[in-house]
Amino acid sequence: CRSEMPFEEVNKDLVRKLALYSQGNLNPMASVLGALAAQEAQKAVTKRYQPLHQIMYLDFVEVLPEEPLSEAELAPIGSRYDGQIAVFGKAAQERILRQKIFMVGAGALGCEYLKDFAMMGVGCGGGAITGTDMDTIEVSNLNRQFLFRKKHVNSYKAAVACQQASNMNPNMHTTALQQMVAPATEGLFD
């Protein structure tokens, strides 16, 4: 039995936001959806694990601007960041480009963050990303830390991850360190 939702109960603000920002493309969201699709495809092909048999709901409404931005603010400028501009506007994209990030760890999560930062333009317009990791790449890292290749084994994770992210976006400014983050090294990271 299907019941109809009365028109009065439709969340008009949500529908407005969906219509306004449907042209957008946000790399972190694409990463999450792509990872889920790949995981489910692997399950289906290998028949080793049980696939998801449920509805998955994912939204990002809380990051949307409260008030609608002007058409001029959302208009594409012919850059690789037009998908984000369509959601957050040109002023927000400029702030993203100027971000200065200090990241501890260049393992599985660090690689994912650096890839997303490169695709979003973090540190590409006056900003910078500094990553530190004392660890070196081992063969066992290659299957889950996708920025690393066999030729990188025994190299420092931070150096390779920052270089690979810079290869994805040549405008990205990165600095790789191999320093421990601890009270004894606190003065190094000002």
- What DSSP assignment string belongs to the chain? -PPPPPGGGS-HHHHHHHHHHTT---HHHHHHHHHHHHHHHHHHHH--SPPP-S------GGGS-SSPPPHHHHS--SSTTHHHHHHH-HHHHHHHHT-EEEEE--SHHHHHHHHHHHHHTTTSSS-EEEEE---B--GGGTTT-TT--GGGTTSBHHHHHHHHHHHH-TT--EEEE----SGGGGGGG-
- Position 1 scores a pLDDT of 52
Is 2 exposed, middle or buried, given 0-12, 13-18 or 19+ CB atoms closer than 10 A? exposed
What is the model's pLDDT at position 96?
97
Pick the more confident residue, 58 or 113: 113
Question: How does pLDDT run across 14-23, given as a tens digit for each residue?
Answer: 787 777 778 8
Question: What was the pLDDT predicted at 90?
Answer: 97
What lies within 8 Å, CB to CB, of 95 at 6+ separation is none
Checking if the pLDDT of 148 tops 70, the result is yes
